[in-house]
Structure formats: C-alpha cells, structure tokens
Structure 1
Amino acid sequence: MAVLDQPPATAPATADTAAPGQRWPGRGRRRATSLSRADQLVLGLMLGVPTVLHVALVWLPTLASVVLSFSEWNGIGGIEDIQWVGLDNYVDIVSRYPRFWPAVQHNLVWLFFLLVLPTAFGLLLAVLLDRKLRFGRFYQTSFYLPMVLSLALVGFIWQMMYQPDNGLINNLIGRAEANQINWLGNPDLNLYAVLVAAGWRHAGYVMLLFLAGLKAVDPALKEAAALDGANAWQAFWRVVFPVLKPVNIVVLVVTVIEALRAFDIVYVINKGRNGLELVSVLITDNVIGESSRIGWGSALAVILLIISLGFIITYLFQVFRREERA
C-alpha cells in the first residue's frame, strides 16, 4: 500500500516533452535566426541592388579607366579602333604636358589649405558648440548650411561676391570704384580666392563630424582630467583629442577626397584656366573636350587615383602601426 500511495515518478523533461511554460533556449534561438523566404528576398535585394550599382558605377568605370590609360582612342568606333601604346601616355603627361605640373601643384595647395585652415576652424566651432552655447542650434545650422549647397552653386555665389565693379568684397574694402581688385581674373590671386570659397563650405562639414565625435566622448574622462588638475586646454589635447582618433581619420579621408576631386567651383568660374588648373579639369578637357583623347584622360584619372590612395594609405598605415606598438 505504501508503494501505491507514492506519486508516479516524472520522466525527465526533453526537448519534445517540456513542462508547460518552460522555454528551451536552443530551440528559441533556432527559430529566431531562421528567416522566411520573403525576408531572405528583401535582405537579398537590400544587399544586392546597392552592390550591383556600386560595382557598375564605380568599380567597372575605374577598371575601364585603368585599361584605357594604356591606349590611344578618340572615343569613336569600337574596340578594334583602340590602339595600345603601353606607358606612352604616362610618359607624355609627365614630360611633355605643360599644364600637368601646375595642376598637381594647385591640387597640393588646395589639400594643404583645407587641412590647415577650414579643418582647424571646423574643430574650433565643434568645441565651442559642444559647450551648449545659447542659440547653439542656430549657429550649428548656419555654419553647416553651405555644405548643403553644391560646389557649382558655391562658385556662382562667390563669383558675384568677387566681381571687380559691384562685388561685395571690393565694396567692403572700399575698392569698388578706384583701383579695383580682380580677384578671379588675376592668376596670382584667383586660386586663393577660390580656396576661401571652398573652405567656407568645407568648414561646416568638418564641424559636424567633430561635433558628433565630441558628443560620444565619455564625460568621466573630462571629470578625471579636471580632478588631476588639468585645465580646459590640457584636458582637450591630452584626453579628448586622442579619443577622437576615428573621427580624425574620417576627416582626413574626406579632406583628401574633397581637395583632389575639386572640379565644379573652378569650372564654373573660368573652366579651370588662367591660374585655376586642376587635375580633374585636365581629365574633363581630355575626355569630353575638343581633343577627345580618352587614353590621356584615363591616364590622368589613374594618376589622380594613385595620388589620393598614396595620402590615405600612408596615413592609415602609420595610425595602425602606432596602435600595434601601443
């Protein structure tokens, strides 16, 4: 009778005989990670369409430019009309093209200017706006607003400001009537005048990048630096600025790209001539200009690509090597 009064032994719970309300993590995870065919189709379209567009619009033209840089072709006819000349295009550009080296020099000046003045000014604006100034949103919008404009429109705006007779700049300095300064017609001044316009647009973008990085800095780092006796200047350069290393890399890459691909603003002003020669303008003149030398234009594009990658890869290599040593 004692045996009959004992409750029946319960069998151990398994994946198929789980107690009511009990969840099995393994089965739950398998169900959560399984996607339906509709989800797989949507995910495939979201990944596949941008990838196909990127390959078709970026990588294929880049590879085509590299291949065509070793040829001589006027763009008319088929593949059979292409004449392969090897490295002749590169040799002719470096040694015989009188506009090439001035254009490279102007691009390097453009890069140096953007790295020094607009980038430093954008960092200063970001630090000031991070302190939650009054009307900070208004200032932030005002300084970023030029970035919304295209470089072509920026060129039109500053072209009116630089007009010798009734331009804003000459009127402000009192040179509108007598001894007018031809800011865009003088080859000794027009490059720097255009750089001011390009920097006006670039500073707002740099400000936004640094401001986003400053918002992500842990406030405990600043408090710890203050407790150690560091002033605001020391806390920024020794504590906050090193934390902004990822933002600094982004700013450098963006600045290099902006400086070396500059085209719109100078082409609007005087089609990149009379002191405003840039490599991007030479590419356009040779590919779709009157001469229509596809091989030369492609070789110039490859040279510009190599210069861009040289700056970016060198900086990234140094940054990653320092991190490995640390």
Structure 2
Amino acid sequence: MTVEAPISAARATRSPAPRRRLRSLTKRDRIVLGVMIGIPTLIQAVLVWIPLLASVALSFFKWDGLQLSGFVFQGLTNYNFVFNQAPAFWPAVLHNIVWLLFLGLIGTPLGLLLAVLLDSKIRGSRIYQTVFFMPVMLSLALIGIIWQLMYSQDNGLINNVLGTAGTPAAIDWFGDSSVNLWAALVAATWRHAGYIMVLYLAGLKGVDPSIKEAASLDGANGRQTFFRVVFPAMAATNVIIVVITVIESLRAFDIVYVINHGTNGLELLSVLVVQYLVGETQVIGIGSAFAVVLLVISLVPIVIYLSRTFRTKE
C-alpha cells in the first residue's frame, strides 16, 4: 500500500505526452506531389495502359491501319482466325511452352548453381560474376548475331570443334528445323542464367547467417541447409525469378527474328504479333488478337503463382 501510493501520485502528476502535429501541405507541396505522381502515371498510361486497351478494342475490328474511317466491327472473327485458321499459331504456342520449360528447368537452375558457387567466397568470384553477367548487358538481337557466328555451318566455332566445318556432315544449327529451336534456347540460356545468377546472389546475401549456423548445429549438412533453410528463406526472390522466367519465355522475339524471322521451326507468339501488326501480312485486327492472346497466356501463370505464394505467406 505504501509503495503503490507514490506510484499512483507520480502517474497522476505526469503530464501527457504532447501530440505531434502534422504540418498541413502548402500549395507548393501539393504541386510537387502532383508532378511526382502525375508524370509517372501519365507515362505508364501512355506507354502501357492506352496501347493495351487499344489492342483489346482493335482485336474486334477490321482495320488496314491507314484510314481512320476504315473500322469494321467483326466480333470474334479475328479470334476465330487465330485459333482455327492461322497455321503457325499452335506451333508457336508449343514453342513458347518449350521455351518456358527449358528456361525454367535448365536456365534458372543453372543461374542458381552459379550464384551458390560464387557465394561460397571462391577466389576470383568478382571476376566470374563479371564474366557471367556480361551477356545480360547485351541485347538479345546482338546475342543472336554472336551465336550465328558460333553456329555457322561452314566457319562456326562449334562445327570447327566437332571437325565437321565445311563438310557435308556439318550441322546447320539454325537452318535445320529439327535443331534450330534448341540452338536458340542455348543462346537464350547463356544470357538468362547470368541474370538469374545476379538475382539469386542478392537473395543469398540477404539471408541471415544465423539460420545457417543453427541448421549446422542441428546436424544438417550443406545440401540440407540450402534446400530446407536457405532456399525457403528466399521466397520473395523466388517469386520474382518465376515471374521473370515466365515473362522472358513469352516475350522472346529478338533472337529468333535475327536468326530467320521466326520461321522454319522458330515460330513464337511474339513473332506472329509483329508479323501481323507491322510485317508483310499486316492485318491490325488479327495482330491485336494475337497480342491479346499472348497477354492472357502471360497473365494466367503469373497470377496463379503469385496468388498461391501470398496466400501461403498469410
């Protein structure tokens, strides 16, 4: 009782903490905030949302791309052509699926392996990081040109190593429709693995070393520590990499267009979009329909994966 009385008296005499007043925004502050928010929003709308909505709208019309008065509403006719009459559509879908599986099962794990090896503080790791990251700084069009020189039937490095350059036994890596898709995938993986390596290196640096020590104290070996502790701890990085892999596989265009304009076994959905929008077979409505189909195919796996990932987190 004697102890509680002084405490109660002290609490009664203690003045309440002053509330921090929020400074009201001046006219200048509102203008600055409006500019900072408005300009990126305007750029996003002009470069992304308006073309997206325009593509969706144009996919229901017939238009030659020249006369503004030449719009003819066709309903689902363009989509009917895409799914039932376009000869290259289903081969392009198959090739995009193969592209996704190849990058997801080979390119991405290869980048993860490189990241783990370089994170183990081997000698010269900075040099190796630079070497593996170098292809990421090159455009896919330039990578296609580089690998054309590598795959050349007469003077290419690979056929020279095999000892078949300039002979009838030389493999036409980009001309043979049975192998050119896999040759292009190897070239794309050369760039993709370096990109994934950098992302996973950043993820590995963000993992708390104490959880590795705790796992080793519990008797886990290096493999068990990585797959049961470290890899799950990089959940945010894994989400980003899955999304990037899906996008990279579906938007692949430059490398196959440099090789043979996306024909003879290298048909892709992105190539069909360009061919029908600005190519020789220019039909704006059909090209827009191809673009919408590619958009939907791109969104479906990304939305499913993200929803499951965030639901698991919650």
Give TM-score scaled by structure 2 length.
Answer: 0.91
- Counterpart in the other structure of 2:292: 302
- Counterpart in the other structure of 1:118: 107
- Counterpart in the other structure of 1:136: 125
CA distance in 2 between partners of 1:105 and 1:30 (Å)? 58
Give per-residue Cα distances to partners, 1:76-120, cap 9 Å, x unaligned.
211x31111111111121111111000111111001100011100
- In the alignment, is residue 147 of structure 1 matched against residue 136 of structure 2? yes
SS at match of 2:22: helix
Matched residue count: 301
Give the fraction of aligned pairs with identical amino acids, expressed as a percent: 57
CA radius of gyration, larger in: 1
SS at match of 1:184: coil
- Tell me how large the CA RMSD over aligned residues is: 1.9
Deviation at 1:322, TM superposition (A): 2.7
- Counterpart in the other structure of 2:10: none
Deviation at 1:130, TM superposition (A): 1.2
- Counterpart in the other structure of 1:30: 22
CA distance in 1 between partners of 2:246 and 2:55 (Å)? 21
Equivalent position amino acid for 1:165 in 2: D
Give per-residue Cα distances to partners, 1:241-288, cap 9 Å, x unaligned.
111111111001111111101111111111101111111111111111
CA distance in 2 between partners of 1:46 and 1:148 (Å)? 29
Give per-residue Cα distances to partners, 1:170-223, cap 9 Å, x unaligned.
111111132111000000010000000000000011011111111000011000
- Counterpart in the other structure of 1:68: 58
- Counterpart in the other structure of 1:217: 207
CA distance in 1 between partners of 2:246 and 2:118 (Å)? 25
Deviation at 1:313, TM superposition (A): 1.1
- Counterpart in the other structure of 2:242: 252
Runs of 4 or more off by more than 6 Å in structure 1? Answer: none
- In the alignment, is residue 271 of structure 1 matched against residue 236 of structure 2? no
Runs of at least 5 residues in structure 2 that lack an aligned partner in the other structure: 1-12
- In the alignment, is residue 94 of structure 1 matched against residue 83 of structure 2? yes
Which of 279, 304, 309 is 1:314 aligned to? 304
Deviation at 1:132, TM superposition (A): 1.4
Which of 155, 158, 161 is 1:166 aligned to? 155
- Counterpart in the other structure of 2:272: 282
- In the alignment, is residue 192 of structure 1 matched against residue 193 of structure 2? no
Equivalent position amino acid for 2:65 in 1: G
CA distance in 2 between partners of 1:241 and 1:203 (Å)? 18
**Which one is further off, 44-53 or 152-161?**
44-53
Equivalent position amino acid for 1:159 in 2: Q
CA distance in 2 between partners of 1:198 and 1:128 (Å)? 22
**Which one is further off, 313-322 or 172-181?**
313-322
CA distance in 1 between partners of 2:22 and 2:81 (Å)? 63
Equivalent position amino acid for 1:107 in 2: N
Runs of at least 5 residues in structure 1 that lack an aligned partner in the other structure: 1-11, 15-23
Give TM-score scaled by structure 1 length.
Answer: 0.88
